[in-house]
Amino acid sequence: MMKPGLKGVIAAETKIGEVDGLNGRLVYRGYEIRELTKERTFEEVAYLLWYGKIPEPEELLQFHRLFHQSRQLTPVMMNVLDALPDNMDMMSVLRTVLSAEGDSTYGWKPTLDQAVSLTAKIPTIIASRKNTLEGRPLIDPDNNLSHVENYLYMLHGSLPKAEHVRALETYMILTMEHGMNASTFSARVTASTESDLVSAICAAIGTMKGPLHGGAPSEVIALLDEVKQEQNVRSFLSQKILAGEKLMGFGHRVYKTHDPRALALKEKLMEQEGKDEWLDLALSVEVAAIAALEEHKPGRALYTNVEFYAAAIMKAIELDPSLFTPTFTASRMVGWTAHVLEQAENNTIFRPLSRYIGK
């Protein structure tokens, strides 16, 4: 029987992550996602996805050196970046500059060192492009800073607030990996032809660029902007629901109960309560929105999704909407590369059939 879009078709077995939509669970290598966001850094969770275990202190120290020292762009990548037209969007910039790294050293099979190097360079590409367009000097990566802290530092030119680092780090851990989604599938299909890692990641970036997959939480931000002006938030949200409007940031196509990523993000943001107005606003709006949805749409189980709190984080760290999907990409690089490495371990080329319905 034909399955349009391959929905429900199991195309590969994986040890990397499990997305359990019915029970609202997300697992990385056997660890519940909320356990990881409580205790681990971006680097530790990346190590887990790539190496299959939580690093020991000495392993983590060596990994930090490798990861942080891989941030600098090569001269060829910088030349390509300088040559790009100003009107090129950031996802296209990532795809194009990253492809310049695809020299003869990137062949079959992909390696862990390659995965680390490519992932480390994504924030540098984003920040360098942003600063160039704004006419500001480029900011070199600071290897004394963590991955997320360095990203914010390069974007804004100053050390970020600790609460902003913790909030963004939690978001980036939560979005590292999410099963056989469209972009991960693109990466694995490309790798299955025994193409190189750079080509597989460029395929994934091209897929993430599409609005049906890598859509940013811009509409949630619009909702938060509206709500911020209202005195009676519950009444305002009820009016929107009764008018047939959708509350952006609630409901998810995979999770039929609570989105575990939203729960983990909320838990982390509650630790920062009172330190940022946008994070506080999101916490209060969620309570009012859930109550309004239960009143006007009983039985629909429309829970908060990860984009709702992601929007508050992006607003708090003053991230331009054009950088939302690229920031998502900066975290998902870990999952993509982990899947490509797994594909290479026991490779079979993807070759589905099509049914001819023409004349």
* Residue in 101, 177, 307, 342 annotated catalytic: 307
- 252 is an active site residue: yes
Residue 121: is the preceding peptide bond cis (ω within 30°)? no
Neighbouring CB atoms inside 10 A of 26's CB total 26
Number of residues assigned to the chain: 359
* Residue in 64, 252, 339, 342 annotated catalytic: 252
For residue 85, the one-letter residue type is: P
Strand partners, 27: 18, 32
Q: Which residues lie closer than 8 Å to 7 by C-beta, 6 or more apart? A: none
Q: And the tokens for 121? A: 């360079």
Half-sphere exposure of 203 (CA within 13 A, CB side): 21
Query: How many helices (H) and strands (E) are present in the chain, helices listed first?
Result: 17, 3
Q: Which residues lie closer than 8 Å to 304 by C-beta, 6 or more apart? A: 249, 250, 258, 259, 262, 266, 286, 289, 290
- 178 is an active site residue: no
- The set of catalytic residues is 252, 307
